[in-house]
Structure 1
Amino acid sequence: MSRRWKSYIEAHMFVAPSVILTMALGIYPILWALRYMFFDYRGYGEPQYIGFDNFTRLWHDHDLWMSIWNTLFYAAGKLVLTIPVALVLAVILNGKLRGRHVLRGIIFMPTIFSTAVMAVVFYIIFNSYNGLLNQLLRTIGLSGVEWLGAEYAMLTSILIAAWGGIGNYMLLFLAGLQGIPKEVYESAELDGAIGWRKFSYITIPMLGPILNIIMMIAIMNALDSYEAIMVLTGGGPVGKTQVMFLYLFKLLFPVATGESVTQDIGYGSAVAFFLSLLVGVLTGIYLYLTRKLNNIY
């Protein structure tokens, strides 16, 4: 019995640091925010209980709903660019291409860089006035483009996000491709399936499980991504690139983003709860649809 208790205590001692950190850095902040979403609290003074007024304000907050629309557009654009390109690159680099290992490393490299650092680099490249890209265009006799202006800022942000995410998803697709037995392709070739037929009738269906995982990861990353946009445009110009978690960050930490507005922890907590619920609903819808498609096919 003493030996069993000793094993029991040792096991819990190993688990304890993770549990304590999770409680301190995960669960406690959530409970703290759940409390303050019913208060008017600006970070100083005594919190004032206001019931559901923060949610009433949320419902009529035009900036919040615009940020949600921007996020959905940003996420859709990122997925449309990233997933197909990552799949095509994975198929190409899964073959017997010379130097494929070096190419894999080069394509994967952007995923290991800091998002903020890479955003600064791209800001230097895409700056509308003295950016490197516009300087190059003027050198060859073309006029500069306002890459971070109201018209192109969101598209530029999507391109940069896709560039940073392709390598990660390519690696996951490679893992899925290498898990497909070669015998399946050999049997298909004996039946006359080559090229596009082999890709559409064998590769895509057999990548179904890993594709579901990749899509889930990509959707979650796209919905909660804001760091690169914060460095590139700060949500501007005129809110054209204001995504929902950047809007939330500005409510809770206005000084960190250079905002002159007052910190609003109470309303920010209500917005955080609402956005978490929204992401959960969108994730649930995706899981429901994929389950339905799996049952059909």
Structure 2
Amino acid sequence: MSQQNSFIFGRRSTAQLTFLAGIGLVVVFSLVPAVGILVISFTDIRSLPFLPTHWVGLENYRTFFSSAQIAYNVHALKNTFVFAITVTVIQNTLALLIAVLLNQRLRGRNFARAVVFMPTILGVTVIGLIFTLIFNPSGGPAASVWKSFGSSSAFFGDPHLAMALVIAVSVWSGIGVAVVIYLAGLQSIPSELYEVAGIDGASSRQRLRFVTLPLLAPAVTANTLLSIIGALQSYQLIYVLTGPINPATQVLSLAIFTQGFGGAQGGAVQSQGYAAAISMVQFVIVMIVSVATYAYLRRKETAL
């Protein structure tokens, strides 16, 4: 085989050009905006026109950690971790079980796979509208069921129930992608390994524990990282379901949105500079959590 045919794109120059184009897109659409947000976080820029912008240095970061803001921000950060960890654990557990089930030779499994993946193609607004109608306290189906037990609830307006409902909706809306990734991993496992394990007398649970899970470890790592990073940065569904000012579901990403685009809470004046500072704090948190999670899961892959 010639050297020219050893490249996917046919020629070395074409491959290099494609690689440089990809790097250029990353720089333009990721690196430049990130640097811009970092610069903005050191200013007092606001959305009101004709207001002068001043360089304030670390003032926005001091505000974030100040006594006036720390209680609100710590509460938002706690909600963020509760939301991210719970969604990641429940979503991946259910997705793995569903993927194992749908990987069997069952009648109608293709239709079942389509149904499981269907929520993924729905927009956040559509999902929010569906579940807002379902949990409408004035006459939704959930209210009718609640009423049959002689009780009532405000659902997304209930501070004791709102976060649990948002987590459930988030898991439902995102489980399709996780199932697809797990299915791809399961289908790459040679069937001969299960046959050998069966000959050795391994039960279904033992085959899952000693054959499926070790070979599915890369898919578990990918799904866990996607879930936890997405959940740490998520606010759209929370905003649609509970609004921007519900303390029970206030997360750090929603604080960034309200500071940048309206509805600022916690006593701070709306400021894009302060919102940028919060986003940089969030970036550091997401980076630390992602690197730590990746390192832990890679060690577990090696151990398996």
1:143 aligns with 2:147: no
Superposition deviation, residue 204 in structure 1: 1.0
Q: Which amino acid aligns with 1:205?
A: P
Deviation at 1:102, TM superposition (A): 0.5
State the superposition RMSD in angstroms.
2.7
**Matching residue within 34, 38, 45 for 1:30:** 34
TM-score, normalization: structure 1? Answer: 0.87
Q: 1:197 to 1:295 in 2, by over 3 A?
A: closer
Paired letter, 2:299: K
The aligned counterpart of 1:241 is 249
TM-aligned CA distance change 1:202 to 1:16, over 3 Å: closer
User: For 1:92, which of 97, 101, 123 is the aligned residue?
Assistant: 101
Q: 1:287 aligns with which of 288, 294, 299?
A: 294
Residue pair 1:41, 1:266 contacting (<8 A) in 2 also: yes
1:39 counterpart = 2:47: no
Where 2:155 maps in the other structure, the secondary structure is coil
**2:86 aligns to what?**
77
CA contact (8 A) 1:93 1:104 kept: yes
Q: Which residue of 2 aligns with 1:186?
A: 195
| Alpha carbons 2:72, 2:266 under 8 Å: kept | no
2:260–2:270 Cα contact (<8 Å) kept: yes
Distance 2:155 2:117 in 1: 25
Query: In structure 2, what residue type is equivalent to 1:202?
Result: V
CA distance in structure 1 between the partners assigned to 2:266 and 2:135 by the alignment: 23
Judged with a 3 Å threshold, the aligned counterparts in structure 2 of structure 1 residues 294 and 16 are, in CA distance, closer, same or farther, namely closer
Shift of 1:226: 1.0
Name the amino acid aligned to 2:279. Answer: A
Amino acid at match of 2:270: Q
Cα displacement (A) at 1:50: 2.0
Please list every run of 5 or more consecutive structure 2 residues that lacks an aligned counterpart in the other structure: 1-10
Measured at CA, do residues 261 and 51 of structure 1 come closer, stay the same or move farther in structure 2, by a change above 3 Å?
Answer: closer
2:64 aligned partner: 58
Q: Which residue of 2 aligns with 1:117?
A: 126
* CA deviation string 1:67-126 (max 9, x = no partner): 111011011111222111111111111111111110110111000110121111111111
Q: Quote the offset at 1:14 in angstroms.
A: 7.3
CA distance in structure 2 between the partners assigned to 1:200 and 1:182 by the alignment? 15
Q: 1:20, 1:284 → 2: CA distance?
A: 25
* Structure 2 counterpart SS, 1:50: coil
User: For residue 6 of structure 2, what is the aligned residue in structure 1?
Assistant: none
| Equivalent in the alignment of 1:3 | none
Deviations 1:182-232 (A, max 9, x none): 110000011000221111111111111111111111111111111111011
- Alignment match, 2:171: 162
CA distance in 2, matches of 1:258, 1:124: 27
**Shift in CA distance, 188/283, structure 1 to aligned 2, threshold 3 Å:** same
* Match 1:177 to one of 163, 175, 186: 186
Residues 159-202 of structure 1: CA distance to partner in whole angstroms, max 9, x if unpaired? Answer: 00111112111111111111110110000011000221111111
Partner of 2:259: 251
For residues 265 and 298 of structure 2, what CA distance do their matches in structure 1 show? 44
Give ranges in structure 1 of 5+ residues lacking alignment: 1-6
Distance in 1 between residues matched to 2:12 and 2:207, nearest whole Å: 54
Q: 1:80 to 1:23 in 2, by over 3 A?
A: closer
Task: Report the CA distance between 1:38 and its aligned residue.
Answer: 1.5
SS, match of residue 49 in structure 1? coil
| 2:35 counterpart letter in structure 1 | L
Structural mapping, 1:187-206, within 5 Å: 187-206=196-215
Residues 108, 219 of structure 1: alpha-carbon distance in 2 compared, 3 angstrom cutoff: same
Q: Is residue 2:142 matched to residue 1:133?
A: yes
